[in-house]
Amino acid sequence: MDHANTNHPLTGGTQADHSQAQTLPSEAVGQRRAFTKAVGRKFHEDGSVRYFPGNTIICPIGPDNEVYAKLVKAAERFGQLSCAPCFTMLPSSSYHMTVIQGVCEEDRKPQLWSSFLPLDVPLEAADRFFREKWQAVRVPDGFAMTFDYLHTDGVALTVNLQPNTAADAQSLRRFRDEVSEQFGLRFPDHDVYRFHISLGYRIAELTGREEEELLRFKQHMEAEWSEQFGVYRSAPPQLVFFKDMFKFAETR
């Protein structure tokens, strides 16, 4: 079950979070925060999710997966930090590992679009084209991944993963290359893509003290997960469609 929306302390909007409503740190009261590049793209200034449609190929993570509880617990812990109000946490129902990116309405650039489609084709037409091509893709049963590190430096708060074995790495590479060929997609980072699970997004920049707090959280989680994360065995990859970052499903 997803956690209910709470007031976002930046501007009083709503935020889907894993913790109770919080207040801004005392040193930030009365100060206007600088927003990150997530604002105006995937989120609004108040932290609420913004319309940002697209398609992608993911391995969804449901409650029946052993990793799910670890992710929820980490998000709940994160919610207790004083810097947490500067982030929008994703609902647990959206947890997934992206296997290969599709296209987004707002990213109509040759390097981020299918080479088989005009840049101005309606997104719905791109959806139909990918659905057709997906029928020819050999879909594996899933992938085995292990914990690599917790990424806290950028806009997205992510659990970064690595293939469990060389065979797993080969399986991922083979599948990504096949989808790339079928869909006409080859992003600039195709050969160096970092697999990850997103937990949330930074909406406002942090103070120095908050960055130090976030670093301590990162170090604590990395020490714990290096010992206890285990092997994440994913569900089979799925072609999904989204209106925003809160829901990924078979239809938009």
Tallying the residues shown for the chain, one arrives at: 252
Distance in angstroms (rounded) separating the CA atoms of residues 167 and 174? 10
Distance in Å from the first CA to the final CA of the chain: 21
Residue 181, both tokens: 């060929």
Domains detected in the chain: 35-249 (3.90.1140.10)
Q: Which residues contact 73 (CB under 8 A, 6 or more apart)?
A: none
Mean pLDDT along residues 81-102: 98
- Asked if the model's pLDDT at residue 146 lies above 70, the reply is yes
Q: What is the mean pLDDT of residues 218-229?
A: 98
Which of 9-23, 133-147, 184-198 has the least mean pLDDT? 9-23
pLDDT of residue 132 exceeding 80, the answer is: yes
The average confidence (pLDDT) of the chain is 90
Query: Following DSSP, what letter does each residue of 12-57 receive, concatenated?
Result: S-EEE-SS------GGGTT-PPPB-TTBTTTB-TTS-B----EEEE
Element spanning 77, H or E:
helix 66-78
Q: Encode 96-128: b = buried (16+ Cβ within 10 Å), e = exposed.
A: bbbbbbbbbeeeeeeebbbeebeeebebeebbe
The pLDDT, as a whole number, for residue 221 is 98
Closest CA to 98 of 174, 165, 16, 159: 159
